[in-house]
Amino acid sequence: MRLVQWILLLVSLGAGALGVYLYYAYPFLALPSPWGLLPLYYLLPGAYLLGLLVGGLWALALWLGGMGERRRLLREVRRLQGEVKALRQARLEEIPRIPDREPEEPS
C-alpha cells in the first residue's frame, strides 16, 4: 500500500508540474469551448483531478458493496449457526445407563 501511495504522490506532483510548465512555457495554448478559450495548463491538471475524483467514487462504491456483502454473509453464518444449535438440542444422543454408576451430565 505504501508503494501505491508513493506512486499516487509522484503522479500527482507530475500532473501539477506539467500544469506549471505549460503555464510558463506555453501560456498561449488553449482549446476552444462554448464558454470561450480554455487554457491547456488548466485543463490537463483538471482532467487528472477529475479522474482522481471518479476513481475515488468508484473505490467508495466497491467498498460499500463489499461491506453489504460482508453483512449478508455474516447474517447467513449466524442463521446457519442457529440451525446447527437447534439440531444439536433436538437430537440428544442417548447415553447408555450402567446400573452401578451415577448418571453423568451431558456436556
pLDDT at position 19:
92
pLDDT at position 94:
63
pLDDT at position 96:
66
pLDDT at position 51:
94
Provide the grid cell at 25.
512555457
**Average pLDDT of each block of 10 consecutive residues along the chain (107 residues)?**
92 93 92 90 92 95 97 97 87 68 62
pLDDT at position 88:
81
Count CB atoms within 10 A of the CB of residue 105. Answer: 6
| Sequence-distant (≥ 6) Cβ neighbours of residue 104 within 8 angstroms | 95
What is the distance of C-alpha 46 from the center of its chain? 25
pLDDT at position 106:
58
Residues 10 and 14: their CA atoms lie apart, in Å, by: 6
Longest CA pairwise span in the chain (Å): 105
Domain locations along the chain: 2-90
